[in-house]
Structure 1
Amino acid sequence: MKYTTKALHTKYPKSDTFGALRTPIYQNAAFEYASSQELEDVFTGKTAGHTYSRASNPTIEELENKIKSITSSKGVVATSSGMAAISNTFFALLKSGDNIITTNKLFGHTLSFFQNTLVDFGIDVRYVDICSQDSIKNAIDEKTKVIFFETISNPELIIPNIKMLSTIAKENNLVLIADTTMTPFYLFDSKKHGIDIDVLSATKYISAGGVAVGGIIIDNGNYDWSKFQNLEKFHTKFGINAFISKLKKQTFRNIGSCLSPQNAYMLSLGLETLALRADRTKDNTKEVAYFLNDHTKVKSVNYPLLKTNPYYDEAKEYFLFPGSILTFDLEDKQSAYKFMDKLELVRRSTNIQDNKSLIIAPYHTIYSEYTDEQKRSFGLREGTLRLSVGIEDIEDLIVDLSQALEDL
């Protein structure tokens, strides 16, 4: 079965009492059992079941099972946000004294997590050119545990050589973790391309219009957890499920970053129409990119499917298409703000992959906690705008962008 059929027809393990076609919202904290022994058996893992919604919940489990079916993965954990997916993954894998390899060309809050949170737990974060094989290899030592990257960096839109990253990770017994928010599983088969763990924000494409905040952790089953010393105890007991078991029975449960049943229900609905919405944004984004690229008042346009883009070949090789985000440069901050304030359809907002088109100036907002020098080292510029293209009628989007550019 293909993506949408799986999203619509993956069956929940138990039939609904009333024959509902959709798993209900189990909006409750605790679950009762007919006997004390049954309750004990669920707590000890002898019997599958739910005890408390911080640890698991039927509505959330339905979302996880659906994604597991779509991705053919080993296990899935749904979290309260994309950042919760990232933080839980690293807290489950790492110990004080370990190091990870990544880049400083990352989403601002991910970068902040590495620079201001993870280091406080004794983790050494090593920043390299993620597109350079030599740079990555030279940073690896006996304490290195993970290589982390974004399939398409936000907002720089860098696409690394994923095949090269997978090879390096395998040669050095490292866990390869990808933030696939910009290219979720309908657009990118991470398992096929050697990714061990996916983390992504479900708030974007999956939520079908920014209606729910959530995150997803996916274990693709590519990594042999018997070789990962930090999970030795869990591998002895749970085998190939060591990572997911560590999350569910310890890290995720103890940190308490659970998704709400209401949000799980909304995200499950969003999965069913993701392909339809994504395909519409693909066509719209290409048209907008061509329009801006030809406009005399736009200094430059960054979109991987422009043939002049340095990552055009990577975009064609790895993805169904490279998402709905593009960036473009105007002369300076004043021009960028004047343009944004003239827009009538495109909304000034920080989310991406919404049904509505959204625009923001990352230099002055998402990265506002950093100095100008730091922002420039991340590849950011004052006149850069990030545009998340929605599903509006393309003619109306072009008219709105055109009228906002007129007075510059």
Structure 2
Amino acid sequence: MKKQTIAIDTPYVRPDAYGSLAVPIYNNVAFEFDDAAEMADAFCNRIKAPDYARVENPTVTNLEQRVRLLTNAAHVTAFNSGMAAISNTLLAVASQGKNIVTSHHLFGNTLALISNTLLRFGVKPRLRDLTDLQAVEDAIDEHTCCVFLEIVTNPQLEVADLHAIAEIAHQKGVPLIVDSTVIPFTETHLRELGVDVEVVSSTKYLSGGGTSLGGLVIDYGTFPLINQRIKYELLFNLGAYMTSQAAYLQTLGLETLDVRYQRQAANALQLAEGLRELGMIQNVNYIGLKDNPYYQLAQRQFGKTAGAMLTIDLASKDACFRFLNRLRLIHRATNLFDNRTLAIHPASTIFGLFPEHQLEKMNVRQTTIRLSVGLEAVEDLLEDLQQALEDDL
């Protein structure tokens, strides 16, 4: 079946007692068994049956099953946020004395997790330019537990060569783990590029209208120990499983993901092209623009669409603040890939607690505004952006 059909018509693992077409919200904690033997089999994973909602819930299982079929993954595990998906995945591979080869160009909390939190437990970050393949190869040694990167960095919009990095990592027996939030997994075939595990903030495209927090670990089974530890250690011991309410909302979002994403990506491209006509903007960064330095690589890796995030640069931080304050339609808010278009100044918010010298290493500029493009009419968005800029002419 095609992806749109799978997203909508994947059957339940077990038939619903009342034949509900929409997946029910199993808003309960415990599940009854027919006898002691069945209970023991469920708790020891000899049969597929929910035992306790902290580690398995039918509503969440349905979402995991749909994503697994859409991605042809070996395993999918849903968590209560994108950061939970990242942290549980890294904890599945990391241990004291190991190192993670990654980039300065990461989302702020992800960088803080690797550079601060995990470092306190003896896991060292190796921050490199991942567009430099020799630097990647030189950084990996016998203590490297994974290479981790964002397929499109936020907010720098940098794209690394996933296939080349995967070949280097696999030659040394190391998994390639990527955060693929910026381009939906319905659009990409990252397994074919050598990616071993994808982590996704399903808070973004899946939830659609910013309805719910969630994260997904999409595991292609090439390093079996990762799923083993997630399923039989971390889910039990850390308690970060997705809630049934979030799974219900994100299942509804998954059913309309493809049509929403196609509109958002088309809007983002049209908006990026239109913003270039406004002279007061110093730079427009979007990987879907043909003269973008990552355009060819992004097209090869992700297909024809380029996501719904772009950035613009203005003359100064003060100009960015004035611009944000004058917006009338576009919302001043964090999050990505809501149905609504959102604008934020990353340097003073998401990265606001980082010192200036670290912002320079991360290429997070005081002049940058990040736009998450929604489903509105592009003409209305451009009109709002133009009027917010006019006073600085």
Q: TM-score range by the shorter chain?
A: over 0.9
Letter in 2 for 1:46: R
TM-score normalised by structure 1 residue count: 0.94
> Tell me, what secondary structure is at the counterpart of 1:68?
helix
Is 2:344 aligned against 1:360?
yes
Q: Distance in 2 between matches of 1:284 and 1:166?
A: 32
> Tell me, what secondary structure is at the counterpart of 1:328?
strand
Q: Distance in 2 between matches of 1:309 and 1:258?
A: 39
Contact 2:27/2:244 (8 A) holds in 1? yes
1:360-408 deviation per Cα after TM superposition (whole angstroms, max 9, x unaligned): 0001110011111111111111110000010001111111111111111
Q: Distance in 2 between matches of 1:170 and 1:42?
A: 35
> Tell me, what secondary structure is at the counterpart of 1:247?
helix
2:322 corresponds in structure 1 to: 338
Q: Distance in 1 between matches of 2:314 and 2:5?
A: 43
Percent identity (aligned) = 39
> Tell me, what secondary structure is at the counterpart of 1:205?
coil
> Tell me, what secondary structure is at the counterpart of 1:206?
coil
**Most deviating of 164-173 and 41-50:** 41-50
**Most deviating of 182-191 and 109-118:** 182-191
2:154 corresponds in structure 1 to: 154
2:166 corresponds in structure 1 to: 166
Q: Measure how far apart 1:49 and its partner are.
A: 1.1
- Structure 2's unaligned 5+ residue stretches are none
Is 2:22 aligned against 1:22?
yes
Counterparts of 1:2-13 in structure 2, within 5 Å, are 2-13=2-13
Q: Distance in 1 between matches of 2:330 and 2:157?
A: 21
Letter in 2 for 1:405: L
Q: Distance in 2 between matches of 1:48 and 1:355?
A: 36
1:299 to 279, 282, 295: 282
2:258 to 275, 278, 287: 275
Count of aligned pairs between the two proteins: 391
Q: Measure how far apart 1:46 and its partner are.
A: 2.6
Letter in 1 for 2:59: T
TM-score normalised by structure 2 residue count: 0.97
Letter in 2 for 1:257: A
Q: Distance in 2 between matches of 1:373 and 1:246?
A: 37
Q: Distance in 2 between matches of 1:77 and 1:275?
A: 21
Q: Measure how far apart 1:134 and its partner are.
A: 1.0
1:325 corresponds in structure 2 to: 309
Q: Distance in 2 between matches of 1:251 and 1:114?
A: 18
2:232 corresponds in structure 1 to: 249
Is 2:377 aligned against 1:386?
no
RMSD of equivalent CA atoms: 1.1
Q: Distance in 2 between matches of 1:67 and 1:48?
A: 18
Q: Measure how far apart 1:307 and its partner are.
A: 2.0
2:271 corresponds in structure 1 to: 288
Counterparts of 1:2-401 in structure 2, within 5 Å, are 2-221=2-221, 223=222, 225=223, 240=224, 242-320=225-303, 321-401=305-385
Q: Distance in 2 between matches of 1:13 and 1:383?
A: 50
> Tell me, what secondary structure is at the counterpart of 1:147?
strand
Q: Measure how far apart 1:287 and its partner are.
A: 1.3
Contact 2:275/2:382 (8 A) holds in 1? no
Letter in 2 for 1:75: H
1:314-366 deviation per Cα after TM superposition (whole angstroms, max 9, x unaligned): 12111131200001100111111111111111000110111000000001110
- Structure 1's unaligned 5+ residue stretches are 226-239
Contact 1:187/1:322 (8 A) holds in 2? no
Q: Distance in 2 between matches of 1:161 and 1:333?
A: 32
1:264-290 deviation per Cα after TM superposition (whole angstroms, max 9, x unaligned): 011111111111011101111111101
1:13-52 deviation per Cα after TM superposition (whole angstroms, max 9, x unaligned): 2111111112210001111112223212211223221111
Letter in 2 for 1:328: I
